[in-house]
Amino acid sequence: MEGDQSPGGSAVSQDTYLLIGGAPPLQQGRPRSVPRGCRPWRLWHRTSLCLAGPRKASWRRRVVVLAVLIAVLLLLLYSLGESSHRTIMSFVVCSSMVRGRPPEAAFRCNGPVNTTSQLPHPHAPPRPTQSRLREDPKVLLFTETQYSRTGQAIIHILVANRIKYKMEVLGKSLPGLTNLSKGKYGVVVFENFERYLQIDPWNRELLDKYLRDYGVGLVGFMPAREETQVGAKLRGFPLYVHSNLGLENVSLNSDNPVLRLTRAGGTLQEELPGTDWTVFTPADTTYTPLEWAAPSLPHFSEERLILSILDKGDYDGISRVLFGGNLDFWLHRLLFLDAVSYLSLGRISLSLERYILVDIDDIFVAKKGVRMTTDDVKALLDSQWRLRELVPEWRFNLGFSGKYYQNGYPEENAGDRMLLEHVDEFWWFGHMWGHTQPHTLTQEKLEHQMQLNKQFALAHNIPTDSGYSIAPHHSGVYPVHEPLYDAWKKVWNVRVTSSEEYPHLYPARLRRGFIHRNIMVLPRQTCGLFTHTVFIDKYPGGRQTLDSSIHGGELFLSIVYNPISIFMTHLSNYGNDRLALYTFESVIKFIKCWTNLSLRTVPPLQLGEKYFHLFPNERDPVWGYPCADRRHMQIWAKEKSCEQLPKFLVIGPQKTGTTALYTFLAMHPAIVANYPSADTFEEVQFFNGKNYYKGIDWYMNFFPVPANSSSRFLFEKSATYFEGEMVPQRVKALLPHSRLVVTVIPPSKRAYSWYHHMRAHNDPTALQYTFHQVITAGDGDPRALRSLRNKCLVPGMYAKHLERWLDHFPASQLILIDGEELRSDPVYVMNDLQRFLGIQPFYNYTEHLRYDKRKGFFCQVTEEDKTKCLGRGKGRIYPPMNESDAKLLKEYYQPYNVALEKLLTRLDYPVPKWLEEELQ
């Protein structure tokens, strides 16, 4: 298992099965030059070690010797003058550039290796015999409690692989398994298989019948238990278990049809974590071993024990995969995905294609001493050739900032030049000219920076047409700094970028992509190499940490779980110990050994297109609240502030008195409404339509930046938010703390008012058809009429929409206003609302609202005897609704009104009088 690192010894690549063929390496004849008598360790950063003699010499002695030498050198410099100074400096520099031997990616696969770049077909997946399941079946996961460990580990895998699931804490009853006779679940998983055995007979029969009838399989994990079982029979099955074992040396049964993503890579010569593993002994041919292990106690029998097993379903018609332990062991995570695929008859299956792109962020930016020498560049090219044997067409993707070109020691500057001599061997992308963070710059300055870099590229024959770029520290990509996107487009014609920050750095499994202004933002994965990870023995947590990330840990799983992985590395990871070469060669070899994945790489633009083809529902961004994330705040322009976002929203629906409410609220001295929109009258309409794609800068520009904003309440009213499908999710993401104000009136009255509103706005369809024709329009009617019908009737299904909002917001953040009461007693309503919003100072509306007889509504008091009422469009005069239409609508809305009453009672909200009357 262990990679062979021999700092001063011979390379082990020859006997590594995975180092295969390839073009002749540019660099032959290692080891590199090392002063005689010195130990070939890291002389570069341990000069004193070399100078002071044997390694065991005391540090104090070394320091003294080094100090004396430096003093002598300085004295010499001083006495020799300027020209000799240069000679001596270059001598010092050249000596200091002697570096130790970097570790080699010598992972050894002791089984056959997956050398094919074609998509493998390890075992033909079983075909679904019937299509009785819904199209995108979920995983049904039964857990012991909401937070139990294995359950959480299972969810982690499902989420990371974008597999839909439903978690159910096992109770007295089962969740509904079908919907309109279609099966909802493609696989059932028991975090604790013993709980499956203990289900009461009625529910067990129900579940087993579902599994048989719908051709669905079951995955179960054997829990750790206090008492040891020796040869205990599993209740109802010809299967025996032995628990509480320590195990080692795991191998897989390559003939087991469950293996798909996972391949039998030989024997893992390591001990499994823990001593509470369970093994199986079958007594029926329905069972086939999936995984074997040896007992780690020497006195135990030598034979291979079965650690996970496939039940083909010959015994009771149900296929199962059972694991003798949990998911702490990395191989089980792969086997779990294979079990889900196999048992769902391939319906819940991941593609076996994986794309990897390794960016070298800013190939010329690093301190002297950690940059690349010519040897390092040769090593990079060698590595690229070797990787091509495993990943066709492999190329590193180099970002450049011309400002730092040739900014190192002479040998490093030669390395920079050599990179450009081999310009065609790599992919290139323009970075900033300097390493400035874009969110601190105006568009003009950004463009200038990029132009400088472009000129540098043109002068050095570096390609400028990759369409890709990235920003230092993700700055300006997310949260979006619009000037960066503008400058990118203008100077480099950027079409694709990548970031780790959307929606947040952690948890990594939730990172997603989005498209903003036609620039694709791809999620980037973390490989554990940063600018300061230069030497393997200084790797945070030690070399072992890096190796375990490669050998089944985080890095390995990132590639397994993500169809497309983009990793960011830095120039410093390619000089000295060349940790990036070690890391990627190792992990790719490990993948080739233990998986059937086909690895590929393509340039970023193609990668972006592939990504959004695979995940089209990620195209739309979901703008998040920048102030919830310290990292986001650090890369958000200084003048931006969350105080410029509204504290509450009036979300509608239309025609329920929302304009009156908006006007009354805006009268309050502590409440500030949005600036009116030229396009949509007073409403911003951000969360529900095309405006959302304009980004949050556009939205925030509708609000003033108040001097002392925390004492002022910004708000906006957009009455179509209420019924918008995506709106609750979007509002929750950007304004998680906002209060929501909803107004409701009898839904039939609302529909009728809306119809007249449309006629008043000369909507041709509303003018063409009567109200009766609109509300009774059927599927055979013209599309415009059906659309008008929906817009007229759908907002009045209050309970349905409220439930959607309550999926995202707690009831305590939402207030429901009776629009009828707002009309008849606005003072009472406004006082109540002030209390709910917690607004200070209290504004006495009694003095500011007065009933206007002519208007027939309450209006704003402007002077002692004068009022200002809402315009003609509010409180329109139209004939009353005819009785038959009223009756029709009352029946139509009956179930929705019943649901509303139930919902309000459940939430302990007051039930409006009109609703009580409607339901009588």
Query: Which active-site residues does the annotation give?
Result: 655
Instruction: Report how many residues bind ligand A3P under the rule CB under 6 A.
Output: 17
Q: Is residue 497 near ligand A3P by the rule CB under 6 A?
A: no
Which range of residues in 253-261, 276-284, 328-336, 655-663 is near ligand A3P by CB under 6 A? 655-663
Q: Least distance in Å: CB of 816 to ligand A3P? A: 15
Q: Copy the structure tokens of residue 242.
A: 């032995």
Q: Please report the beta strands in 739-865, taking only residues with DSSP state E, as ranges in sequence order.
A: 739-744, 814-818, 849-852, 857-863
* Closer by beta carbon to ligand A3P, 290 or else 665: 665
- x/- track of binding to ligand A3P for residues 2-41 (CB under 6 A): ----------------------------------------
* Closer by beta carbon to ligand A3P, 151 or else 875: 875
Q: Is residue 656 near ligand A3P by the rule CB under 6 A?
A: yes
Is residue 194 within 8 Å of residue 150, measured between CB atoms? no
Q: What 3-state class would DSSP assign to 656?
A: coil
Which range of residues in 137-145, 491-499, 867-875, 880-888 is near ligand A3P by CB under 6 A? 867-875
- x/- track of binding to ligand A3P for residues 559-598 (CB under 6 A): ----------------------------------------
Cα(696)–Cα(899) distance, integer angstroms: 35
Which range of residues in 137-145, 391-399, 545-553, 650-658 is near ligand A3P by CB under 6 A? 650-658
Is residue 745 within 8 Å of residue 657, measured between CB atoms? yes
Which range of residues in 43-51, 74-82, 606-614, 657-665 is near ligand A3P by CB under 6 A? 657-665
Planar angle of CA 432, 435, 438, nearest 5 degrees: 65
C-alpha pair distances (Å), 601 with each of 114, 355, 385: 17, 5, 14
Q: Least distance in Å: CB of 662 to ligand A3P? A: 8
C-alpha pair distances (Å), 622 with each of 483, 703, 726: 20, 20, 10
What residues are paired with 427 via a beta bridge? 397
Q: Least distance in Å: CB of 717 to ligand A3P? A: 9
Q: Least distance in Å: CB of 627 to ligand A3P? A: 31
Name which position in 658, 691, 834, 897 contacts ligand A3P (CB under 6 A): 658
Query: What is the footprint of ligand A3P within residues 713-742 (CB under 6 A)?
Result: 719
Planar angle of CA 152, 726, 671, nearest 5 degrees: 105
Q: Least distance in Å: CB of 775 to ligand A3P? A: 16
* Closer by beta carbon to ligand A3P, 199 or else 745: 745
Name which position in 626, 657, 747, 912 contacts ligand A3P (CB under 6 A): 657
Q: What 3-state class would DSSP assign to 477?
A: coil
Query: What is the footprint of ligand A3P within residues 876-895 (CB under 6 A)?
Result: 876
Q: Least distance in Å: CB of 172 to ligand A3P? A: 47
* Closer by beta carbon to ligand A3P, 376 or else 852: 852
Q: Least distance in Å: CB of 765 to ligand A3P? A: 19
Query: What is the footprint of ligand A3P within residues 41-80 (CB under 6 A)?
Result: none
Name which position in 625, 858, 892, 914 contacts ligand A3P (CB under 6 A): 858
Q: Least distance in Å: CB of 845 to ligand A3P? A: 12
* Closer by beta carbon to ligand A3P, 357 or else 870: 870
- x/- track of binding to ligand A3P for residues 274-293 (CB under 6 A): --------------------
Which range of residues in 340-348, 569-577, 625-633, 871-879 is near ligand A3P by CB under 6 A? 871-879
Q: Is residue 817 near ligand A3P by the rule CB under 6 A?
A: no
CB neighbour class for 119 (10 Å; exposed up to 12, middle 13-18, buried from 19): exposed
Cα(793)–Cα(781) distance, integer angstroms: 16
Place of tokens 């003058």: 81
* Closer by beta carbon to ligand A3P, 140 or else 869: 869
Name which position in 326, 383, 525, 654 contacts ligand A3P (CB under 6 A): 654
Q: Least distance in Å: CB of 119 to ligand A3P? A: 57
Name which position in 371, 474, 655, 801 contacts ligand A3P (CB under 6 A): 655
Element (H, E) at 143: strand 133-143
Q: Copy the structure tokens of residue 247.
A: 């195990």
Query: What is the footprint of ligand A3P within residues 745-764 (CB under 6 A)?
Result: 753
Name which position in 253, 659, 674, 738 contacts ligand A3P (CB under 6 A): 659
* Closer by beta carbon to ligand A3P, 261 or else 870: 870
Q: Least distance in Å: CB of 827 to ligand A3P? A: 12
Q: Copy the structure tokens of residue 403.
A: 């400002």
* Closer by beta carbon to ligand A3P, 37 or else 871: 871
- x/- track of binding to ligand A3P for residues 677-716 (CB under 6 A): ----------------------------------------
Q: Which of 475, 424, 425, 427 is nearest to 449 (CA)?
A: 475
Burial pattern 11-38, b for ≥16 Cβ within 10 A else e, equals: eeeeebbbbeeeeeebeeeeeeebeeeb
What residues are paired with 468 via a beta bridge? 496
- x/- track of binding to ligand A3P for residues 605-644 (CB under 6 A): ----------------------------------------
Q: What 3-state class would DSSP assign to 357?
A: strand
Which range of residues in 336-344, 475-483, 523-531, 874-882 is near ligand A3P by CB under 6 A? 874-882
* Closer by beta carbon to ligand A3P, 49 or else 881: 881
* Closer by beta carbon to ligand A3P, 104 or else 818: 818
Pinpoint the alpha helices (H) of 525-603.
543-550, 554-561, 579-594
Helix axes 783-793, 747-760, angle to 10 degrees: 130
C-alpha pair distances (Å), 599 with each of 111, 237, 252, 523, 687: 19, 41, 22, 18, 40
Q: Which of 778, 805, 802 is nearest to 789 (CA)?
A: 778
Cα(224)–Cα(150) distance, integer angstroms: 11
Q: Least distance in Å: CB of 493 to ligand A3P? A: 45
Q: Please report the beta strands in 745-878, taking only residues with DSSP state E, as ranges in sequence order.
A: 814-818, 849-852, 857-863, 866-868
Q: Least distance in Å: CB of 920 to ligand A3P? A: 23
Planar angle of CA 120, 121, 125, nearest 5 degrees: 145
Cα(476)–Cα(487) distance, integer angstroms: 11
* Closer by beta carbon to ligand A3P, 467 or else 875: 875
Q: Please report the beta strands in 663-803, taking only residues with DSSP state E, as ranges in sequence order.
A: 671-673, 713-717, 739-744
- x/- track of binding to ligand A3P for residues 821-850 (CB under 6 A): -xx---------------------------
Burial pattern 571-607, b for ≥16 Cβ within 10 A else e, equals: bbbbbbbbbbbbbbbbbbbbbbbbbbbbbbbbbbbeb
* Closer by beta carbon to ligand A3P, 535 or else 754: 754
CA–centroid distance for 341 within its chain: 23
* Closer by beta carbon to ligand A3P, 355 or else 857: 857
Q: Which of 613, 608, 610, 644 is nearest to 626 (CA)?
A: 644
Q: Least distance in Å: CB of 875 to ligand A3P? A: 4
Pinpoint the alpha helices (H) of 199-357.
201-213, 330-343
DSSP state, residue 262:
B
Residues lying near ligand A3P in the complex (CB under 6 A)? 654-660, 719, 753, 822-823, 857-858, 870, 874-876
